[in-house]
Amino acid sequence: MNDLIIHLHIPKTGGTTLRDIIQRQYLSKNILTIPTLEKSENILETVSSVKINQLEVVQGHLKYGIHFNLNRSAKYFAILRNPIDRVLSTYYYVISQDNNPQNLSSNDNTMSIFDYVNSGINPFLINGQTQLISGKTCSINDPLIRSKELLSIAKKNIKENFIFTGTTEQFDESILLLKGILRWKSPYYSRANKTKNKPDYKTIDKKIRDFIKDHNQLDINLYNYVKKSINDKINEGSINFKDELNHFKNINAIINPIFGFSRARRFLSKSFKK
């Protein structure tokens, strides 16, 4: 039996777009999508061993270690994002939704980024990417959440059990490298689940950016580690990678509206069935 491939979808990293790509690479019956971290904890209670054994891919909001519960040998991949931009994207996504349980805003006062992070309602705003890849989830008062130990575990997991880690900022490069590793068909796409009405993050006040940076030192270290790994893979690989990348970008720019239309049609179909 081949290794199970696990897409560890870190929130606000472009993972929904990547999940759309994955859906076109494998038979739907061989993909298991887990919507929340909580549901991944009890996976054996909801999925039969027969189903687990036929799977090729598990994807969703997970943390490293789910393969232990699935009783399968597995290899992971994930996309990371610039930690400051990821936290800002999460914040603006939450405050754009009045009914989001993480939105602590009132009629008189919009929740600030400082209140959001310090509330602890979303502990993944503090080194969240390092937490998920290490397989350790922490409360904001847990010393582990800022420890070198957490970072070391995450890097060890990447070295030993991840076939690839990419970045949102080098998304096209990342999926082309994944295509080569997993022998995918052409992974054309359109962007999904983009946060609306958000400012240009480069214009965000320095005080806010420094606040986020101070709370995400491990994620910044891990992100830079992954970024170097991507560039190393590009330099070690095909001498024609740059040409392949430009060709991919040009074709994708032409055909990506097709995938956007297809996604909208699926969404409407599901809405009418409810």
Over range 91-97, report the average pLDDT: 95
Residue 64 · residue 132 · CB < 8 Å:
yes
Which range marks the domain in which residue 157 is found?
4-273
33 has which bridge partners?
59
Burial zone of 155 (CB within 10 Å; 0-12 exposed, 13-18 middle, 19+ buried) = middle
Please state, in angstroms and rounded to a whole number, the distance separating the CA atoms of residues 254 and 25.
20
Q: Report the amino acid identity of residue 264.
A: A
Over range 260-272, report the average pLDDT: 49
The token duo for 79 is 């996309």
4 has which bridge partners?
74
Percent of the chain with pLDDT over 90: 73
Q: DSSP class of residue 11?
A: T
> For strand 4-8 and strand 74-80, is the pairing parallel, antiparallel, or unpaired?
parallel
Residue 227 · residue 138 · CB < 8 Å:
no
Number of domains in the chain: 1
pTM over 0.85: yes
pLDDT tens digits along 145-182: 999 999 999 999 999 999 999 999 999 999 999 999 99
Q: CATH number, domain at 11?
A: 3.40.50.300
Residue 8 · residue 64 · CB < 8 Å:
yes
Reduced to 3 states, what is the DSSP secondary structure of residue 91?
A: helix
Residue 214 · residue 116 · CB < 8 Å:
no
pLDDT tens digits along 60-69: 999 999 999 8
Reported as a pLDDT band with limits 50, 70 and 90, residue 49 is confident
CB atoms within 10 A of CB 112: 14
Please state, in angstroms and rounded to a whole number, the distance separating the CA atoms of residues 67 and 191.
29
Over range 225-242, report the average pLDDT: 90
